[in-house]
Amino acid sequence: MAKGDVETYHEDGQWKNKPEGNERASSTHDVKADAQAQGREMAADRGVEHVIKKQDGTIGEKNTYPRSRDPRDIEG
């Protein structure tokens, strides 16, 4: 992940959001959808990538904010 990118991940029974470089999570949630929404907002505010991991720790999806910074020319 690049400096400042926001990662949404599962740990200790909760979904968490942590910007790259931080030692601790910035937010914790009981539901993945809530964590994703908060992580998306954090990434959009910072103009960075949002990396959403599955419960097993593998990357489920990545979204770049703003979209114009995305190096790929595919939708999604």
Tell me: the pLDDT tens digits for 53-75? 999 999 999 999 986 655 556 55
* pTM assigned to the model: 0.83
How far, in Å, are 32, 63, 67, 74 from residue 15 at the CA level?
6, 18, 25, 28
User: In the chain, how long is the greatest CA-to-CA distance?
Assistant: 36
How far, in Å, are 14, 24, 60, 72 from residue 28 at the CA level?
6, 10, 19, 30
Residue ranges covered by each domain of the chain: 5-68
Tell me: the pLDDT tens digits for 13-50? 999 999 999 999 999 999 999 999 999 999 999 999 99
